[in-house]
Homo-oligomer: A and B are copies of this chain.
Amino acid sequence: MKASGKPTINDVARIAKVSKKTVSRVINKSPLLSEKTRIQVEKVIADIGYVPNPQARALALRRNFIIAAIHDNPNAQFLVNVQQGILEGIAGTEFGLMVEPVDGSSPSIVEDIRGFLERQRPYGVVFLPPISENDELAELCDSLGTRYVRMVSGELDDPQHIVMSNDREAVYEAVRHLIAVGHEKIGFIEGPESLSPAERRAGYEQAMTEAGLPIHDWMIAKGRYTFESGVEAGLSLIDGKDRPTAIFASNDEMAIGAVIAARRRGIEIPRGLSIVGFDDTPLSSHIWPSLTTVRWPIVEMAKAAATKIIGGEDVDPNLGVGLASTFIERGSVVAPPRS
């Protein structure tokens, strides 16, 4: 009939001489279909180049074929890596990726996200740290029937709802490396309160304790994952009671802040102070000296998250749960200065 426009399910049904519903069954791979009918319909679909209309499906199914990444302003590289991972996970499917930033410190965050979910009705959402640690958001998704996966560093939900890496172990290894090289006074720049930083600190403490090294107050400084806070924390460690010979920072940005802090005090890196970061942002290999760091499997985690959302029950609930961080040696660590 209509010469214009894309073919619809009606066209397929008419040409194949079956009902719309039968075509629908073919599209959705319904098991109760005769092989004969299926092949016949599939041929027509291929012939006329029919593609199901996602908007119509969205209306009927009450959910869009979209995965949303919900985040609270993490750093750019992290966000882009997550996006890349999700996109890899949905490549070749009909799914698309949406990005929804929120204000993690807002008291209305749950209502904000509820509004978003009710409006766009994404098929599923991926929560990025640090808001991924908010249990209320998980409950919200449950109550709305929206699938979700949280990117976290601890087992704070059922396996099918999380992807995580072994931060603790990675930090443990990094600090052990510092100790092996000869460091004893090792400073630690922590992230803001939440689970992920706690895991990192646990790795630090484990390595120190195992080596019989004391952990003093003046060896710990707090940051906010930003460059500026890294400078501040670095200065406070350097100017503290007893200057550490090495510093582990909970992310690269703060590590670079610490590098700058050291320069301000006339300390040469790495000869006067060794520094280790965490994340392996591209940044870390572009500065001088290049930063020894821990690579976080962000892309893989995000890809696993997308796969879990799309796959639903059919996918191994433990996918992406034990992803390994790896220690990367570069130029910012050497033996401590002779004392």
Chain A residues at the B interface, C-beta cutoff of 8 Å: 6, 51, 53-56, 58-59, 62, 64, 66, 76-77, 79-81, 83-84, 87, 94, 96-101, 116, 118-121, 227, 253, 256-257, 259-260, 263, 282-283, 286-288
CB < 8 Å neighbour of A119 from B54, B286, B288: B54
Measured CB to CB, the nearest residue on chain B to A121 is B55
Q: Which residues on B sit within 8 Å (CB–CB) of A53?
A: 59
> A81, A94, A287: which has the most chain B beta carbons within 10 Å?
A287
Q: Which residues on B sit within 8 Å (CB–CB) of A54?
A: 119-121
A145 smallest CB distance to B (angstroms): 12
A119 to B65, CA, bound (A): 10
Measured CB to CB, the nearest residue on chain B to A63 is B55
A288 to B260, CA, bound (A): 7
A58 to B62, CA, bound (A): 13
Copies of this chain per assembly: 2
Q: Which residues on B sit within 8 Å (CB–CB) of A87?
A: 99, 101
Measured CB to CB, the nearest residue on chain B to A81 is B76
A77 to B59, CA, bound (A): 36
A100 to B87, CA, bound (A): 8
- Let me know if A286 and B79 touch, CB within 8 A: no
Q: Which residues on B sit within 8 Å (CB–CB) of A96?
A: 98, 100, 116, 119-120
- Let me know if A227 and B282 touch, CB within 8 A: yes
**5 residue pairs, one from A and one from B, having the closest CB atoms:** A76-B80, A55-B58, A55-B59, A76-B77, A76-B76
A51 to B79, CA, bound (A): 30
Q: Which residues on B sit within 8 Å (CB–CB) of A98?
A: 66, 96-99
CB < 8 Å neighbour of A99 from B83, B121, B283, B287: B83
Q: Which residues on B sit within 8 Å (CB–CB) of A56?
A: 59
A51 to B54, CA, bound (A): 21
Measured CB to CB, the nearest residue on chain B to A227 is B286
Q: Which residues on B sit within 8 Å (CB–CB) of A286?
A: 227, 253, 256-257, 260, 283, 287
A53 smallest CB distance to B (angstroms): 8
Measured CB to CB, the nearest residue on chain B to A262 is B288
Measured CB to CB, the nearest residue on chain B to A289 is B263
A to B CB contacts below 8 Å, 10 in the list: A51-B119, A55-B55, A55-B58, A58-B58, A76-B80, A80-B80, A84-B101, A96-B116, A260-B288, A288-B288
A64 to B59, CA, bound (A): 12
A35 to B81, CA, bound (A): 51
Q: Which residues on B sit within 8 Å (CB–CB) of A77?
A: 76-77
